Amino acid sequence: MSITKRRRLVATAVAVALGSTALAACGSSDEDGGAESGPVSLTYWTWTPGMDKVVDLWNKGQGKKDRITVTVKKQASGDTLITKILTAHKAGKAPDLVQAEYQALPTLVSNDALADIGKDVGDAKSKFADGVWQQTTLGTDAVYAVPQDIGPMMFYYRADLFKTYGLTVPTTWEQFAETARALKKKAPDTDLTTFSANDSGLFAGLAQQAGAKWWTTSGDKWKVGIDDAATKKVADFWGGLVKEGAVDNQPMYTPAWNKALDTGKQIAWVSAVWAPGTLTTAAPDTKGKWAMAPLPQWSAGENVTGSWGGSSTAVTTDSKHKSAAAKFAAWLNTDGDALNALAKEGGIYPASTSAQLSGAFITPPDYFSNQADFYTTAAKIAKTTAPSAWGPNVNVAYTSFKDAFGAAAKNKSDFSAALDKMQSDTVADMKKQGFGVSE
């Protein structure tokens, strides 16, 4: 089958929600031939710190009982890992299990690298919020992975400095802009926050919250909507704040950014649930002075957030033991002991809703010891995560974002034009790869 035809068939499967049948030829869990008759050895590629210790729990417990042994092979994350998986798959030598970020799943599925494990993960779906589970099905009847960790977005702010400057925590984006301007009038050298053009995942999450659907399918073709109305609204909002100087335009995760947070030159941060770990390193002198609140909304009374980060556990089509691998993937991301170990050893925020209010998440992060309800609030926010719509070339869109928005932020020029560039670059790449794209 030609690459073009195969990719169009994948798009069709996504569009009509027939993934569990139309993609069966790509490798379903039924290829195991039923229950395993002897010891099974599985290989798992992952970047999560301490995963070997978590897997030890399986190997000494449920895995020993089921005669299924898992070996962890530590890997790099991001595009590096996806490229390695696809290279191994082309040679028919991909590992049994892989950790994959949600936005990478369409790329792996469109290359026939992931198996449908829907029949082998039991009632796993009931353990996750609908918006999270949807990311592993791609809107089809198939299940291509089990959610592992998530990154619901929220608003972090210096509670002490908000009080000093007489500021109110914004509940809408309009209020957010007004707060940024009010702060500038009271303290011209201080910024509410910064727009970081280095962080495509942050922008994607903000667009997701606004209702964006960057990739969808129609018939046998993909439709790219990176320049849709929701995303344009987000781009224009932040572009306007940067142009007028109401917020900073410097990238995050630099020594200068760290210093701004630690000295009170920047007093708020739009981030995700994993922010306490970053703040601990970036702004150690301000421990106990920050607070967390839900993300501002586009309309008063709304209650929705975006997602920045998160990953899943998937089974490859090359695995000769798909059912066994799927059983481990389900255990890893739904078993209480496994999830507590993942939180302790890997520092993850679990996708499983029950785990978000137990074990390591009963008490607040040390950095936020002053906010006893930190994880209770985080769990409520996580349930409001908007559905995502990822496509097969997220990496290209993200690279284009950094280039186009990087220049626009630096020059304080039109963000809308940068968004158009991001759209055109993504569409051109999809056509080049042989995907059918509707205009």
For the segment 258-274, what is each residue's pLDDT rounded down to a tens digit?
999 999 999 999 999 99
Q: What pLDDT is stored for residue 9 in this prediction?
A: 44
Beta strands in 348-392 (DSSP E): none
Q: Which residue do the tokens 């691998």 mark?
A: 325
Contact between 227 and 422 (Cβ < 8 Å): yes
Residue ranges of the chain with per-residue pLDDT less than 50: 1-9, 12-35
Nearest to 311 by CA among 44, 63, 126, 69: 44
Distance, CA of 68 to chain centre: 29
pTM of the model: 0.89
Quote the distance between the C-alpha of residue 134 and its chain's center: 13
DSSP-derived secondary structure for 59-97: HHTHHHHHTEEEEEEE---HHHHHHHHHHHHHTT---SE
Q: How far apart are CA 257 and CA 65, in angstroms?
A: 50
| pLDDT number for residue 218 | 85
Give the residue among 241, 239, 286, 242 at the shortest CA–CA distance from 267: 286
- The pLDDT score that the predictor gives to residue 37 is 59
Q: Which residues, including other chains, have CB under 8 Å from residue 315's CB and lie 6 or more apart? A: 29, 96, 97, 114, 115, 117, 145, 322, 325, 326, 329
